[in-house]
Structure 1
């Protein structure tokens, strides 16, 4: 039996503590908050999008950085294994759009309570309200930890401290500093899955659009191109497609975002469609005709941006004006000011470099017995349960591969 320490009571830490206890080790979990899974309870607006019900190949397509690192760990515990795990422990899941899986109770608290129950049944010692301040290493081997309440000796330490997102939940990036102190390389850190702020002001907050083409540019270079759902905010743009995009380009200093409001048609096709509707209702106001193509609030914005009078009728509209509208609907461009910060980020982009970690065990290559799991690693994915699954998987592997004599 080995003495195992898990630092952090988030998803990866909970899973690591549980799987380590299954191996018969003496496990102690340290959590700086008064409760376990504080951030976990916020996910999915309190419903907890626990994982995604897709194939492994499809899953890896949604991992933004370092998906190959996960190949080995997913062969040990995949997203489909997580669904089975929850069901076998009395918490069946329900599937929603895009394969997103939620607990049948629709309560993230039930996920946390499940793990609390499993840990207690397996005699895992919980140190609540106790913050770890350092990891103790001697001769390239972990020997224990220091907390704000004392010093402890351990054979294995699993760091599951999370990233820098959701600071209010206790995520402060401690794990990165401990790693750097031990000469374990950490990549640059950025807020991930965040909203975009534009330099232009517009009165469109709350307006959502579906199936919008998104193009991100830096100079003439296209950094990202995708189609999806967006939401206008008081500061700029958000919504699923914007959040997904942010993780890909935030470290590239993008300059412009270009929206294609009718992405299933070319400019000429949009122009022809508009002409047909204008000819069919030539005495109607141009703005009323545009309302059959885009939302009313957006029509007003388009008219104002092109300096076209709202009273203009279809039969008074010039070919040049019509063309300018068609072009704007296909190429609505905004200058990017910046992205929201860690206080609004759902995840952290960057972290402990994966080439510093053994993918089969999550153990640091330089330090015997020291493991890193979850968001502290340089692994991130799009929304849809993918990031949580990375936490479950890396936690599972870290705990289940602790063997007597091998650590």
Structure 2
């Protein structure tokens, strides 16, 4: 039986405390805030998108960075294992569109209360309002941690302090400093699942489109693409499709992207559609005719970008201008002038390099009884419950193998 300390009472820490106690260890969970799971309460707008019920194969397609590292932890504790755990401990769930899973009460608080009850049954000691100040290591072995209340000797420490998203919840990058102190590499930390700032879209603020395709290209090579809804804002672009793309874009430091506004049609099909619309009412203005196909403000925006006078009659539009309009519809370029910050971010892109962590145990390869789990690691996924599952899986493995 080992004496185990866990630093951080978010999803990874809660799960690590459970699995470590299940293995028969004496476990103490330290949380710097006055309550556990403060950031967890914000997920899914307070409803808590616990996980995604998709298949294993699909799950990994939604992990943006270092998906391979997760293979072992997901095999040891999957989304289905999580759902079984919650059901067995009095927290039933419901599944909604795209596999998103929520507690049936639609309250994140009930998930936290479920864990608190489980940890009490497992005799886990919970210490809130007690931050870890330092971790003591001698001869590549953890000896204990220090808090404002003194020194706690330890046989193993699990760091689950989260990343830097939502800093008002206490996520201020503490775990990165602990890792740095012992020579671990930190990949640059950037805000993830955020909006994109672009001066090119200001005139479209408030407009939403249900199905477009975002593309990032390098020459003719497509580096990234995703289809779904987007929202134009006063600052730029948002919506689920944009949030998902942001994790890739921000790490690659992309300066622009393209949007295909009619992904279901080829360039030639688009051309024929426009030709038919223009020929239908040859003496009407191009603005009026195209409004049968597209939202009014969007038509105005497109015409300005291709330098067509909105009052120009349809029968005066040249073939060249029509093709130019088609090309804009199929590959409209937008500059990327910036991104939402950590106050907006749902997750951190970057963190402790997974090359220095054992994927089967979450242990540091330099200090075997020092482990890291959750958002503090260089792992991130798209929206839809994937990031929380990263925390549940890595937290479980860290505790179970201590």
The residue that corresponds to 2:328 in the other structure is 328
Q: CA RMSD in A?
A: 1.7
CA distance, structure 2, for counterparts of residue 149 and residue 301 of structure 1? 61
The residue that corresponds to 2:278 in the other structure is 278
CA distance, structure 2, for counterparts of residue 317 and residue 113 of structure 1? 65
CA distance, structure 1, for counterparts of residue 144 and residue 292 of structure 2? 66
Unaligned segments of structure 2, at least 5 residues: none
TM-score norm. by structure 1 comes to: 0.94
Preserved contact between residue 218 and residue 256 of structure 1 (Cα < 8 Å): no
The residue that corresponds to 1:171 in the other structure is 171
The residue that corresponds to 1:405 in the other structure is none
CA distance, structure 2, for counterparts of residue 253 and residue 20 of structure 1? 39
The residue that corresponds to 2:50 in the other structure is 50
CA drift at 1:221: 6.0
| More off after superposition, 197-206 vs 142-151 | 197-206
The residue that corresponds to 1:16 in the other structure is 16
Change (3 A) 1:28 1:366: same
The residue that corresponds to 2:211 in the other structure is 211
CA drift at 1:311: 2.7
Which 4+ residue blocks in structure 1 deviate beyond 6 angstroms?
Answer: none
Equivalent residue runs for 1:362-373 within 5 Å: 362-373=362-373
CA distance, structure 1, for counterparts of residue 218 and residue 161 of structure 2? 34
| More off after superposition, 8-17 vs 280-289 | 280-289
| More off after superposition, 360-369 vs 392-401 | 360-369
Note the alpha carbon deviations across 1:117-138, whole angstroms, 9 max, x for none: 1112222222111111111111
The residue that corresponds to 1:26 in the other structure is 26
| More off after superposition, 53-62 vs 390-399 | 53-62
Note the alpha carbon deviations across 1:357-392, whole angstroms, 9 max, x for none: 122211112113211100111111111111100100
CA distance, structure 2, for counterparts of residue 127 and residue 14 of structure 1? 12
CA drift at 1:266: 2.1
CA distance, structure 1, for counterparts of residue 335 and residue 359 of structure 2? 40
The residue that corresponds to 1:252 in the other structure is 252
Equivalent residue runs for 1:175-254 within 5 Å: 175-200=175-200, 202-217=202-217, 222-254=222-254
CA drift at 1:231: 1.3
1:156 aligns with 2:156: yes
CA distance, structure 2, for counterparts of residue 61 and residue 200 of structure 1? 31
Equivalent residue runs for 1:66-145 within 5 Å: 66-145=66-145
1:344 aligns with 2:344: yes
CA distance, structure 1, for counterparts of residue 107 and residue 296 of structure 2? 37
CA distance, structure 2, for counterparts of residue 3 and residue 184 of structure 1? 24
Preserved contact between residue 196 and residue 237 of structure 2 (Cα < 8 Å): yes
Unaligned segments of structure 1, at least 5 residues: 403-407
CA drift at 1:313: 3.3
Change (3 A) 1:32 1:86: same
CA distance, structure 2, for counterparts of residue 191 and residue 68 of structure 1? 22
CA drift at 1:23: 2.2
CA distance, structure 1, for counterparts of residue 109 and residue 206 of structure 2? 29
CA drift at 1:218: 5.6
1:389 aligns with 2:389: yes
Give the total of aligned pairs. Answer: 402
